[in-house]
Amino acid sequence: MANRASPGTDPPYGAPEGIKISTAISESSSIHSDKFISVPRQMSEYDLDMINGLFDPSDYFEERPETRNTMQQTPSDSKIPVVNNLLDSDSPEDMNNGLYFSDGKRKVDYVLVYHFRRHSSLGHRLSVVSNGSFKITVGTKDSQLVQEVSVDVDVEPPDPADREKTSVREEFEASLVEAGLEIERDKEHKTHGTSFVRLHAPWQVLSREAEFLKIKVPTIKSYELKEEKGFSGAMSALWRKINQPFQPKVPHLNSNSRTKYISHSFSRDKLHLYNIQQKDTFFDNATRSRIVYEILRRTSCTRTCQTTGIITLIAKGVYDCAFPLHDGDFNTTGEEEQRNDRQLLHDEWARYRAFYKYQPVDLIRKYFGEKIGLYFAWLGVYTQLLIPASIVGVIVLFYGYATMETNVPSMEMCDRRQNFTMCPLCDGACDYWHLSTACDTSRASHLFDNPATVFFAVFMSLWAAMFMEHWKRRQISLNHSWDLMALEEEEEHPRPQYESTLLQKRQRRSKRQKAASGPRKLTWRDRLPGYIINISSILFMFGLTFSAVFGIIVYRITTSALMAMSPDPETKSNVRVTVTATAVIINLLVILILDEIYGAIAVWLTELEIPKTERDFEERLILKAFLLKFMNAYAPIFYVAFFKGRFAGRPGDYVYVFNDYRMEECAPGGCLIELCIQLSIIMLGKQLIQNNIFEIGIPKLKKLYRTLKERGASPKDTDNQQARAPQRWDLDYDLEPFEGLAPEYMEMIIQFGFVSLFVASFPLAPLFALLNNIIEIRLDAKKFVTELRRPDAVRAKDIGIWYNILNGIGKFSVIINAFVISFTSDFIPRLVYQYMYSETGTMHGFIDHTLSYFNVTNFKPGTAPNSSQYGKEVLLCRYKDYREPPWSPEAYQFSKQYWSVLAARLGFVILFQNLVMFLSMLVDWMIPDMPKDISEQLKKEKTMMVDVFLREEKEKIQLIHSLFAKDEAGKPEGEALLLKQEQEQAQNSGDAGPRTRCRAASFSQFSRQSPQSPSVRHTAV
């Protein structure tokens, strides 16, 4: 660069304080030329070559002629209506709030954020920071902008890391400009802080990338949907009328129009097929940001660093973050008809007063993308289907309550005349007791342990199968309406950690072998240490979970023994209730703590595996987190359901823990009531504390911490210039970053397990899940709309690996419910007694049948009651088990009744499992995955598009013939006669073979590629 002396100024070396300059840059510097000119982000980044101490910073600027007049326009100069965008969200207020470049016309499609710090060195380069020393004038043909800026010379030595990041940013942004994007930056007034780079994609870039990404857009071709007639049509109309109050007030998205516009992949060769009224607004904001993100994701930096994509640059600290902007503020300030998409979502979806309304799924997809839209659609289907399950669960509970007074086993247990004297519950301190004192427990147990419970378990197993089938149909319907039927998996770039590990491997290999090229991928040997650590860590965490469960067991045993020694009779009478309640609360706290720990450990373990792509990383993380959290949440429930009381022993031969404390036994009414208490407290506690309080409180605490941290770290000096008002990118940057849908899915999957796995023990589980989900939907909606930065719009056809997990839980629930009914409840023993051992064929005598005898003289020394209120009257005590009496030759051995009941239990498990599996497969076979109307629409749309392209091909052929005819008319008579003879010869030679059939035109024939074989002929249609 040629350096020229500025008249009336001294060289910078002679300036003791600063240099006064004036520059013709506007408040925002805009880069939108095909030829990239590296414009620094602030005056401190001008690298001025000090040759003879003279320089002219005007050489650093170049303006494109066609944009010189646009740079001075204010955002209020024009208003851009949204065309082909169902909702008009652009207004002068939006322009002033930072949704557009400084010219008020170019929309901000994406924002890059980085932290800067001004440095300088006193060598051959000088960094000038504005403080008003001398003037530089950069003019245009029409006008000349002069702005006074002040600079100070900072003699602080530069940071090499910051200089390297600056170089990487310059190269990356240069590549973005080469790709066609336009860039705008703010002028920075602070010595260090946060800087924003705004990106805009012009029509040429949008159309090119839309064609590459095969984005489907509506065409001008349409057809009318078939209207139902007769009885089905009347019922559909009635159903729509009933549902009308529950529909959100979203204009254009819930219209009853029967016109369906055919969608087709965007192509620049077929612009006449699309209703393009204005190019700037043809693609909606989510599509524009997705296109820009694809460019950011594949743009490489090869000169400064071997890096590809914005994700890697963020991981390396070159940029702090990158995100698309929200569509303005979420609070409605004007009329309802002028609300933008964000305000519509806030008013019609993210408010608790809209809990009774359907979700505007199409608007959610339009604003957040298909992946988030599918999550909320799935959550809506799941919540809707919980309604019939809740109703049936409440009916089962009311049936148990209605039959409580006529339940013969409960009546016998509560009958004081029966006088069943039970063996002590602990050694030494505990006395004999009467079974009638457990009357309340038995009556409460009948609410959940009754014949209707078996029906409810079968119903819920079929409900899970119908839920999966209904979701598949709903998913296909959404795929059709969202144009995702032909969506192909896109190639993903490697993750930053994978690239860095591969680069390190190449460097080590090159040092050893001195080879030019290194390995292209990581092998299992590279991941072997991570796999070993994964397996050992997961086994350790399994052991930790079991240790926590065992610790709770020890707490229950010791607390029961200590309370039994209390002289207070009221304390003794409430031992079981107090111990059960406190143990479950402690267990809940342990589960919540371990959940957070396991979530962080799962991320760390997945990083050790070095997955190649983000999809691999997400799937492995989901599997680990689900496995650990599933074990953590359900381990105590599995213990109560299948292990508690099974290994306690019998009087005279109990099993002891630490040689002092007896293993705990089930309550006289059975373990099912304790399983119900355990399940209800853990389920409600997780939903209330973890799913709601944590979701509300933790983001607010994070935001407060970050705000306080930035206030303490940010400088107060702004070069004596008044700071500008917060723009849209400033407000969105203060929001919490979007961290994915895995936590949201995980909450619902664990809840689905509570609803389906042990529903036989807690029929109210679907009802509590329904109430929680009604709140959860609005809570998640409020979080996405008001508290999170706008996520990238990601396309997806399904919910991914979560469907397989749901399907696995549904299959597993059949087995679990079969074992709960068989081994945890008394359903099978009652049937065996009624049909095999009852003399009258009724349940009278069932309690006496289930209690075995024990001779008190057979107590081991020190285990008999120290003092008894019954004195020496008790010779025999009873305990719940099927064993031979003490007067039998095989005393205290399992009786024949025990083996009969065990055989019946195993037989019921097999019968229940096969019956439910058969019914589930029957439901799967009877309900087709694709709705019939969707199938017909797909066929019709395909036929119409083929007709359109065939018509276009015919028009092209006619146009070619007309051109040839004009050429023949202008040629001499001899040449025309010769050409006619050649055509007749070609026709005669073609008639020798079979006639060529007409071939339908394919979409690839109209691509931009030229045909490979020019000799191929197509007959006229």
pLDDT confidence of residue 97: 63
Res. 602: pLDDT tops 90: yes
The backbone region for 665, taken as left when phi is positive above 0, alpha when psi lies in -120 to 50, beta otherwise, is: beta
Location of structure tokens 């007409």: 998
Res. 110: pLDDT tops 90: yes
Q: Which of 200-214, 610-624, 686-700 has the lowest mean pLDDT?
A: 686-700
pLDDT confidence of residue 412: 86
Location of structure tokens 């024939």: 1005
pLDDT confidence of residue 377: 95
CA distance 350 to 326: 15
Res. 318: pLDDT tops 50: yes
Report residue 630's pLDDT band, with 50, 70 and 90 as the boundaries: very high
pLDDT confidence of residue 47: 37
pLDDT confidence of residue 188: 64
CA distance 965 to 390: 77
Res. 679: pLDDT tops 70: yes
Over pLDDT 90: what percentage of the chain? 24
pLDDT confidence of residue 518: 56
Res. 390: pLDDT tops 90: yes
Report residue 671's pLDDT band, with 50, 70 and 90 as the boundaries: confident
Give the angle subtended at the CA of 787 by the CAs of 323 and 684, to the nearest 5°.
130
Q: Which of 24-38, 468-482, 714-728 has the lowest mean pLDDT?
A: 24-38
Is the pTM above the cut of 0.95?
no
> Mind listing the pLDDT tens digit for each residue in 535-581?
999 999 999 999 999 999 888 888 887 887 777 777 766 777 788 88
CA-based max dimension of the chain: 138
Res. 818: pLDDT tops 80: yes
> Mind listing the pLDDT tens digit for each residue in 494-514?
777 877 787 777 777 776 665
pLDDT confidence of residue 809: 92
Amino acid letter for position 743? P
The DSSP annotation for 487-525 comes to --PPPPPPPHHHHHHHHHHHHHHHHHH--SS--SS--HH
pLDDT confidence of residue 239: 83
Kindly state the average pLDDT of the residues 779-800.
Answer: 91
Res. 1002: pLDDT tops 90: no
Q: Is 246 exposed, middle or buried (0-12, 13-18, 19+ CB in 10 A)?
A: exposed
According to DSSP, residue 877 is labeled E
- Closest by CA to 838, choosing from 412, 419, 400, 404, is 412
Res. 44: pLDDT tops 80: no
pLDDT confidence of residue 896: 92
Q: What is the mean pLDDT of the chain?
A: 77
Query: Which is more confidently placed, 863 or 55?
Result: 863
Report residue 723's pLDDT band, with 50, 70 and 90 as the boundaries: low
* Token duo for residue 152: 């100070």
Kindly state the average pLDDT of the residues 801-806.
Answer: 92
* Token duo for residue 340: 């933008």
pLDDT confidence of residue 7: 39
Res. 16: pLDDT tops 50: no
Query: Which is more confidently placed, 653 or 189?
Result: 653
- Closest by CA to 587, choosing from 541, 631, 633, 646, is 633
